[in-house]
Amino acid sequence: MEPGQRIGRYEIEAPLGAGGMGVVYIARDTELGRRVALKLLQPGPDDGAATRLRREARAAATLDHPHVVTIHDVGESDGKPYIVMELVRGRTLHRLLDDAHISLATRIGWLVDVARALAAAHRAGLVHRDIKPSNVMLRDDGVIKVLDFGIARRASTPSGAPATPSRPDADTEPITEQKGMVGTPRYASPEQLRSGKIDGRSDQFSWALMGYELLTGVHPFEAHDPVALIAGILTVNPPAPKPPASLPEEHIPLEVEDVLLRALEKDPDDRFPDIDEAADLLEPFAGPHLRASSPSNPTSDHPRATHPPDTSHPPRTPRDPRTPHTPRTPRGARTPRKPSDPSLTPEAFEASRISHLNALPLHGPRDPGSERRPPRRSRRPLAAAALACTAALALAVLYLLRSRAESARTAAPLTTLHCEAATLRGPDVTPDMAEAIGIGACARLAVEAGLGWARASTTLPASTEDRTEIRVGWTFRSDPHALQVTATRGPRGFDVTLRLGEHTARGAGPAAFDAVDDAVAALAPLIHDLTPAPLTPAEEQLWGTADPTAARAIQRAVGRLMTGTRRRPEPEAKALLAAAPDSPWTELVIATTLVSDTQEITPHRDRALALLEGRHTPIDKALRAAFLGACFRPTNQREATRLAREAYREAPEQPEIATLFACAVKDLTTMDEVVSVAERTSQRDPARSVLLLRTAVDPLIERNLPRDGAFLDRLHALLPESRAWEESITHLLLTGRIDEARASIDLAETLGISPYHRQPFPPQVLRYHLELAAFRPAEARALAHALLASPGAVTSTMALSWIGSTYEVEGRITDAITGMARALDAVRDSEGDAGAWRTTTELWQLALERAAGVKPSRSIDLDRLDAAAESLGAPRYISLVRTETALARIARDAQGSSDAERRARRTLEDLERFATESARGDRAHEDTLLLLTLPLVHALRGPADAAALWQTTHRARFLARRRLAYDAGLALEATGALAEAEAAYRLAQDPLWFDVYAFTAAAARLRLARLLRALGRDAEAAPLEASLAQPWSRADPGLHQRILAAP
């Protein structure tokens, strides 16, 4: 139902959630003016559902208890029954299970309250049948409420005593969808699982399961699959409950262990006769917490509620000490027992607990024989006094430590790690290296713990010859805990130690982050203790699930993706798939991790879009935009842009939505929006804006070096390892800082990270591109050969094609074509079908032969190439291929007949019409397609028309202008537009995608040097000529003259 619709006198305001058989809404009672929860039965084939819903109202309405949700009304609208109940605002116990800041005493108090509510239901003859953490809510004011009596049934006898056979009626007959087991198997009793007769003692078993999990953090019968879980409930005796590792100073009293284990007996007759007895035994151990009061449950001045004696039941029999599961005191422990004497006040009992705590040894177990030795009488009163003072001081210190531990447990949840200085020792260490290791360790720990992180300072650390210091740490709001990171660089790599209080973890590896990751993994138990408070409604909406395990898995995976801290992308993606198989976030992570540019993304896109169907939250819209738009291969960019803008308007404060917005809409026409969003979001929430800042720096779309530099400076201050990322190194290359770029690649190798965001290529790949763009083809070729010899992310096809590019820079056209042929053969050998690679290779060869002024190869079937391009369906690819094949037909026509030229003119007209039709009003797209025909325009209509085309298609995408820059320079130079020709020749040498356009870059350098000399700028021409002297010493004969003679 939509907000504003009415059911009777109730006006729907918002959806609240889904119950076992209906949807729950927040509604307003228009007569009384109060907000209520309205559960509406959903239509379906289950005939018994309406009966169950009405029974929930009757069952709960008969209960007058402060810990049972209050029923206000029941009715029917358009044939759909509904219940109106108290609106409970708070969190379920399911969401509080892992909260390390809630003491055991408080949790025991919650169990007592639930037990009292169930006892009231049992006295009314009702059995809940679905007690579990998600059906118990802690109201915002601290009061416990038991929810969802929707599958409650009326017991055959009151008070939960064993039922006797009776004739079933509408209330006693269990109504289920399948006439089978009702409830949740994970929290069901053995008799429920067997579909046997149940009474209040079945609720008692479920209550004990919930209590065990609440006090220990684990289910007593936890198993890897549902079948094993059910088998455990039916046949396995649970172990004695132990407190979770997050509460190391606490212990579960033996009496509490006793209560839980007895309530978990397989045979109902071995459990407590009624749950009130279990509550009475737990009551003394319940910590002070808010209890609801009502006429039927008065509350005294004491923080614990008192209950009037129940005279309707026979006296309770103490448990036989021979009963199974009597817990044993752990070795070396001395657990104080709560005396049964009611005259002992809580304060006296607490004093006795402190005395027992203080009596524990400070340095391990005592000498077994020490207790048998007679005490030695001191002959020195001063020594005795000193000893007494020392003992008193020790007790005071121990009590202080205990108080601080309790304070830490009750402190506000840890939300942010504050990253500061650490220590780095060894040869050849630098401040950049130390910063990257320290802050990187902090960021990785924060991501794994589900926390935020921030730089405590951006000041560079001081360094000496062999020492640089950085500190990395975090703080509780009132209790600082510093994480110290110490790293040593040696001949075999790095040793890294992470130290938090008394916890220490060490890692080692050939690269710094290999060691860091090992150390972080060793701190996993501690990280789990630091997990933030349970999911908030905003987090549930963001991650698309209320399951905390799945949500935290998504949060970690997306955190690694957003911060660029993924180290093992494939295993991490597969682990996420196992934890959250039905999340669109999972498909997003897999698509950006496992899918390369040559792999098929369609199945992941289709699955994600199917999961998002009918979902309209801002994050759902942003995710749809990401899959439809520019994040991958766009399929509906117009719709993606609309959805992304809408999502950002609705939730501009959400960094993940801002990041998806930038990724989905990024284009030349929208870069201003992307930059604006990146500016605002990174100022407000920098740690969650790392990927957003990366996205906003894209010189392939828009070249704005000052703005990109400012964004990169912000990124470097936030996460220093980003200095070694592709965006930073590319910026250094574009600004001519080659040596700094090499140093950044050195840093990437030292850290052991890939500079690339989407592909796990090693840093040597980026070093190859840098050396090639610096016109050092021999050095680049050596790197390509090394990559060819080392298995990994780089395939032999890529390495072979890169080797071919080095020959292009040297003017060795024949060798380059031979190298690409070898690459094509490698594809055939590895993949069998080399259709796409063959098409790409033949297109590259035609363009290379044309630029080098040689006849096109007769081995290429031009008609087949045209058909292959059409089958690929990409408009830009079609324009490129048909332009080159038309030019090749003209070049092959040795007789100079007019047939090839006429066909080429028809092709040009077709391509111009095709550009307008396929662009559909997108001027950038239309300009791009028209620009790709420039060589054909030059050949058929002359240089003036080609120059005009270059000047009028300024909206074309950068890569298209980069590709055609050399051809444009030829046309502009021929028409006398020398300044524009110079700019075009310089663009043709742009470092980006240099390996794809290596030959035209070298040819443009040669033409530019001659142009500069003609303009009298010899000083500028000389270094260009010098850079080509060595590479072109082995160029194909006559190539130099053909390039300079090109029209």
Q: What is the pLDDT of residues 446-484, one digit of tens each?
A: 888 777 788 765 433 333 233 333 333 333 223 334 567
Distance CA 618, CA 1027 (A): 54
Banded pLDDT at 431 (limits 50, 70, 90)? confident
Task: Please identify which of the residues 130, 203, 667, 708 carries the catalytic annotation.
Answer: 130
Q: What residues form the annotated binding site for ATP? A: 39
Active site residue 910: no
Reply yes or no on whether the pLDDT at 1006 is more than 70.
yes
pLDDT of residue 703: 85
Distance CA 756, CA 762 (A): 8
pLDDT > 70 fraction of the chain, expressed in percent and rounded: 75
Q: What is the pLDDT of residues 297-306, one digit of tens each?
A: 333 333 333 3
| Single-letter amino acid code for the residue at 286 | A
Task: State how beta strands 71-77 and 90-92 pair.
Answer: unpaired
pLDDT > 90 fraction of the chain, expressed in percent and rounded: 41
Reply yes or no on whether the pLDDT at 620 is more than 50.
yes
Nearest CA to 259 among 328, 325, 160, 200?
A: 325
pLDDT of residue 489: 93
Q: What is the mean pLDDT of residues 117-126?
A: 88
Distance CA 313, CA 158 (A): 11
Whole-number average pLDDT of the chain: 78
Distance CA 566, CA 558 (A): 10
Reply yes or no on whether the pLDDT at 330 is more than 90.
no
Nearest CA to 79 among 55, 35, 47?
A: 47
Q: What is the pTM of this model?
A: 0.60
Distance CA 721, CA 731 (A): 15
pLDDT of residue 410: 39
Q: What is the pLDDT of residues 727-736, one digit of tens each?
A: 999 999 999 9
pLDDT of residue 719: 92
Q: What residues form the annotated binding site? A: 39
Reply yes or no on whether the pLDDT at 1030 is more than 80.
yes
Burial of 662 (0-12, 13-18, 19+ CB in 10 A): buried
Strands across the sheet containing 144-146: 90-92, 136-139, 144-146
Reply yes or no on whether the pLDDT at 792 is more than 90.
no
Length of the chain: 1047
Reply yes or no on whether the pLDDT at 945 is more than 90.
yes
Banded pLDDT at 155 (limits 50, 70, 90)? low
The phi and psi torsions of 785 (rounded to 5 degrees) equal -65, -40
Q: What is the mean pLDDT of residues 433-440?
A: 91
Nearest CA to 445 among 553, 514, 550, 519?
A: 519
Q: What is the pLDDT of residues 798-818, one digit of tens each?
A: 888 899 999 999 999 999 998
pLDDT of residue 246: 65
- 3-state secondary structure string across 697-750: CCCCCCCCHHHHHHHHHHHHHHCHHHHHCHHHHHHHHHCCCHHHHHHHHHHHHH
